[in-house]
Amino acid sequence: MKILKTLIILFIIVSCSNKKTKNQITEFDKILGMENSQTLNSLVSDFEKDILIKTYPRLKTEKAYKQFLVDVNENQLTFWNKISTQSRKKFNDSKLKLEIYEFPDSVWIEGTDIKSRFAFKNDDGTTDYGIGFHSVNLKKNIDSLIQAEYKTPRMNYVGKYMQAINKVKEENDFLEAFYDVKETAGFIHPEIMAGILLKKNPDFSNPITKGLIVMEFGY
Q: Of 78-87, 119-128, 181-190, which one has max mean pLDDT?
A: 181-190
| Nearest Cα residue to 181 out of 195, 198, 193, 168 | 193
Given a cut of 50, is residue 7 above it in pLDDT?
A: no
pLDDT of residue 15: 43
Query: pLDDT tens digit string along 34-58?
Result: 999 999 999 999 999 999 999 999 9
pLDDT of residue 21: 73
Strands (E) in the chain, as ranges, are 101-102, 106-110, 113-121, 127-135, 154-155
Q: What's the pTM?
A: 0.85
Least confident of 14-28, 92-106, 117-131: 14-28
Query: pLDDT tens digit string along 125-178?
Result: 898 898 999 999 988 899 999 999 999 999 999 999 999 999 999 989 999 999
Antiparallel, parallel or unpaired: β 101-102 and 154-155: antiparallel
Distance CA 172, CA 77 (A): 27
Distance CA 158, CA 121 (A): 9
Given a cut of 70, is residue 190 above it in pLDDT?
A: yes
Given a cut of 60, is residue 76 above it in pLDDT?
A: yes
Query: How much of the chain exceeds pLDDT 90, in percent?
Result: 76
Distance CA 47, CA 61 (A): 11
Average pLDDT over residues 22-38: 95
pLDDT of residue 2: 52
pLDDT of residue 81: 74
| Nearest Cα residue to 152 out of 102, 194, 188, 108 | 102
Average pLDDT over residues 75-91: 88
Reported for 65-70, long-range contacts at CB under 8 A and 24+ positions apart, including other chains, are 65/204, 65/209, 65/210, 65/213, 66/198, 66/202, 66/204, 68/213, 68/217, 69/194, 69/197, 69/198, 69/213, 70/194, 70/198
pLDDT of residue 8: 46
Contacts (Cβ under 8 Å, ≥6 apart) of 14? none
3-state secondary structure 192-205: HHHHHHHCCCCCCC
Average pLDDT, the chain: 89
Exposed / middle / buried, residue 40 (Cβ in 10 Å: 0-12, 13-18, 19+): buried
Distance CA 39, CA 16 (A): 29
